[in-house]
């Protein structure tokens, strides 16, 4: 009697173990399926927001009968099968950018440059924690600099140049994007002062703010950005003197300050190259 009882206990115990293992396996499998499906949904949402695609780029294979990782312009990680790169640049695409793009949680590089995308930039781009590169250069995007809804982004390269963005640079930009090496906001309609807090982006090598409507003095704290190689501030309404602290910028190779209301000579122990055309070509 005892024996039979313990045997049945044993088999129940084994059965329970089996069930747990099976449900764990199913959970793992569905977890992966749902993440791939999430990427697919995000990209299909993007496709649905494109109203004109003159080269029929997305019509080729952006559909559910082709695996997402085979779609043109999409690159996946070989192990996780998650989307890591999205490069649909230089296609003259018309449309808007949906916030669903923020669901691409393994994305490292997002290139939508040289299209005709309009509307605002969703703040969801700052919620992709793996993202290092973003270019929305040369579109027709408007509205303010997207707000930070989470704390820190891994972004190193941010290019919003040649759009019609407006408003001010958020003062807390460097507490949210502390790893920035490259930022260009050139050729937009931003206004207000250049925040002195930009000096907290200590990795910054390229800073492009030319051809906007920035006003006030150039903050002397910019002189703290000792890794700075290129600085573009031309074509604004900046006033006052060029800060002496710029003498600390030992790595600086290119600087443009043309078309402002600045006074004073550039400190002569640094050699600067005159670079009035750089604003269009370099940033
Ligand atoms: C889906 O993509 C395939 C290429 O992988 C293409 O042959 C097919 O025509 C597409 N289907 C639709 C409905 O667009
Ligand atoms: C997807 O790409 C892989 C690797 O390039 C290839 O082996 C496979 O046939 C492609 N699948 C489809 C449905 O195009
Ligand atoms: C699920 O994805 C992880 C990486 O995100 C991978 O290591 C694992 O092998 C995948 N599991 C299955 C069942 O595909
Ligand atoms: C992105 O696409 C453009 C246009 O097709 C191409 O010139 C560029 O090399 C691509 N970038 C990468 C990193 O593949
Ligand atoms: C982004 O697209 C532009 C235009 O096609 C290209 O010049 C640039 O190299 C691309 N960058 C990346 C990282 O894909
Ligand atoms: C995009 O538009 C420009 C100007 O209309 C044109 O020169 C270029 O060839 C177009 N590119 C594509 C990929 O359609
Ligand atoms: C994708 O993003 C949208 C909008 O940001 C959100 O409402 C939705 O819940 C997300 N979907 C998934 C599967 O994460
Ligand atoms: C962001 O950081 C602040 C201050 O460090 C903290 O209070 C807040 O909870 C954080 N928010 C998120 C979403 O992590
Ligand atoms: C900038 O950095 C300083 C020193 O690390 C810190 O005290 C300050 O709060 C930071 N300011 C912003 C706006 O991130
Ligand atoms: C720049 O700012 C001034 C003063 O606020 C305003 O009158 C002017 O229209 C602005 N220019 C542009 C291009 O936004
Ligand atoms: C930044 O620059 C200011 C003024 O030039 C200086 O007082 C301050 O100590 C510097 N901060 C850091 C963290 O280097």
Q: Residue 277's domain is classified under what CATH number?
A: 3.80.10.10
- Residue listed under structure tokens 């600086």: 252
Q: Are 112 and 100 in contact (CB under 8 A)?
A: no
13 lines ligand 8 (CB under 6 A): no
51 lines ligand 8 (CB under 6 A): no
Query: How far is ligand 10, taken at its centre, from the CA of residue 187, in Å?
Result: 14
Mutate to test the pocket of ligand 9, among 174, 200, 201, 204 (most ligand atoms within 8 A of CB): 200
Q: Is the pLDDT of residue 275 over 50?
A: no
What's the pLDDT score for residue 10? 57
Ranking 7-11, 121-125, 193-197, 226-230 by mean pLDDT, the lowest is 7-11
More confident residue, 36 or 101: 101
Query: How far is ligand 2, taken at its centre, from the CA of residue 90, in Å?
Result: 25
Domain that holds residue 41: 2-281
Q: Is the pLDDT of residue 131 over 50?
A: yes
Q: Is the pLDDT of residue 256 over 50?
A: yes
Q: Is the pLDDT of residue 30 over 70?
A: no
Q: What is the pTM of this model?
A: 0.83
What's the total number of domains in the chain?
1
Q: Are 185 and 195 in contact (CB under 8 A)?
A: no
What does the pLDDT look like over 151-184, one tens digit per residue?
789 999 999 999 999 999 999 999 999 999 999 9
Query: How far is ligand 5, taken at its centre, from the CA of residue 87, in Å?
Result: 7
41 lines ligand 11 (CB under 6 A): no
- Residue listed under structure tokens 């492009």: 208
> Which atom from ligand 6 is nearest to the alpha carbon of 90?
13
pLDDT category, 279, cuts 50, 70, 90?
very low
Q: Are 257 and 275 in contact (CB under 8 A)?
A: no
> Which atom from ligand 11 is nearest to the alpha carbon of 245?
5
pLDDT category, 260, cuts 50, 70, 90?
confident
- Which 3-state string (H, E, C) describes the chain? CHHHHHHHHHHHHHHHHHHHHHHHHHHHHHHHHHHHHHHHHHHHHHHHCEEECCCCHHHHHCCCCCCHHHCCCEEECCCCCCEEEEECCCCCCEEECCHHHHHCCCCCEEECCCCEEEECCCHHHHHCCCCCEEECCCCEEEEECCCCCCCCCCCCEEECCCCEEEECCCCCHHHHCCCCCEEECCCCEEEECCCHHHHHCCCCCEEECCCCEEEEECCHHHHHCCCCCEEECCCCEEEEECCHHHHHCCCCCEEECCCCEEECCCCCCCCCECCCCHHHHCC
What's the pLDDT score for residue 149? 81
> Which atom from ligand 7 is nearest to the alpha carbon of 38?
13
CA separation for the pair 63, 66 (Å, rounded): 6
Percent of residues, the chain, with pLDDT higher than 70: 81
CA separation for the pair 221, 210 (Å, rounded): 18
């Amino acid at each position: 009697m005892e024996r039979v009882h313990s045997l049945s206990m044993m088999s129940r115990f084994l059965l329970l173990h089996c069930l747990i293992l099976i449900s764990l396996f199913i959970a793992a499998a569905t977890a992966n399926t749902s993440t791939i499906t999430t990427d697919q949904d995000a990209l299909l949402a993007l496709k649905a927001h494109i109203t004109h695609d003159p080269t029929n780029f997305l019509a080729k294979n952006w559909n559910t009968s082709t695996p997402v990782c085979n779609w043109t312009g999409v690159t996946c990680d070989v192990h996780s099968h998650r989307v890591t790169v999205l490069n649909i640049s230089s296609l003259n695409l018309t449309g808007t950018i949906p916030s669903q793009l923020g669901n691409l949680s393994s994305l490292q590089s997002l290139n939508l440059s040289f299209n005709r995308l309009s509307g605002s930039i969703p703040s969801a781009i700052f919620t992709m924690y793996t993202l290092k590169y973003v270019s929305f250069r040369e579109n027709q995007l408007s509205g303010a600099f997207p707000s930070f809804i989470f704390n820190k982004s891994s972004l190193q390269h941010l290019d919003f140049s040649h759009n019609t963005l407006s408003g001010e640079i958020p003062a807390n930009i460097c507490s949210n994007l502390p790893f920035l090496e490259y930022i260009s906001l050139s050729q937009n309609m931003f206004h207000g002062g250049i925040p002195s807090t930009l000096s907290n982006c200590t990795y910054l090598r390229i800073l492009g703010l030319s051809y906007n409507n920035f006003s006030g003095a150039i903050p002397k704290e910019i002189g703290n950005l000792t890794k700075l190689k290129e600085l573009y501030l031309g074509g604004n309404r900046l006033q006052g003197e060029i800060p002496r602290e710029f003498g600390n910028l030992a790595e600086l190779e290119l600087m443009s300050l043309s078309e402002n209301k600045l006074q004073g000579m550039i400190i002569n122990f640094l050699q600067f190259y005159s670079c009035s055309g750089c604003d269009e070509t370099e940033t």
